């Protein structure tokens, strides 16, 4: 959930809305982003931050008249449609990872 919150924040607030949005879990631990070090993470906090970022993302998306509207980010033109499609892919990929982990733990398989 920490990674999902960071991805929501980075795409919608930092890239689409050009906010100075920093990750709530800054820095690196052992060469990887701190958001992935969850041994002492607070699950409630992670879900809370994720919910806030999703609400903020919805507000940003609703401020655009069209999915074909674009923003410029570091010399690249990016459409809102691209960002939303990318986010669908992002969630699908990570939900698949979670399903594989769950299956390895309990052996249950889906349809």
Judging by beta carbons within 10 Å of its beta carbon (0-12, 13-18, 19+), is residue 7 exposed, middle or buried?
buried
With cut-offs at 50, 70 and 90, classify the pLDDT of residue 85: very high
Higher pLDDT: 87 or 93? It is 87
With cut-offs at 50, 70 and 90, classify the pLDDT of residue 103: confident
pLDDT, tens digit, 9 for 90 and up, residues 57-82: 999 999 999 999 999 999 999 999 99
Could you tell me which of 83, 91, 93 has the C-alpha nearest to residue 14?
83
pTM: 0.80
> Is residue 102 a contact partner of residue 108, using CB atoms and an 8 Å limit?
yes
């Amino acid at each position: 959930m920490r990674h999902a919150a960071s991805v929501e924040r980075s795409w919608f607030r930092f890239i689409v809305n050009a906010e100075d949005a920093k990750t709530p879990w800054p820095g690196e631990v052992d060469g990887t982003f701190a958001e992935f070090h969850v041994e002492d993470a607070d699950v409630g906090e992670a879900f809370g931050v994720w919910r806030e970022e999703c609400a903020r993302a919805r507000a940003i998306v609703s401020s655009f008249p069209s999915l074909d509207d674009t923003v410029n980010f570091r010399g690249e033109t990016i459409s809102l449609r691209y960002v939303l499609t990318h986010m669908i892919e992002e969630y699908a990929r990570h939900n698949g990872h979670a399903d594989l982990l769950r299956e390895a733990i309990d052996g249950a398989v889906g349809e």
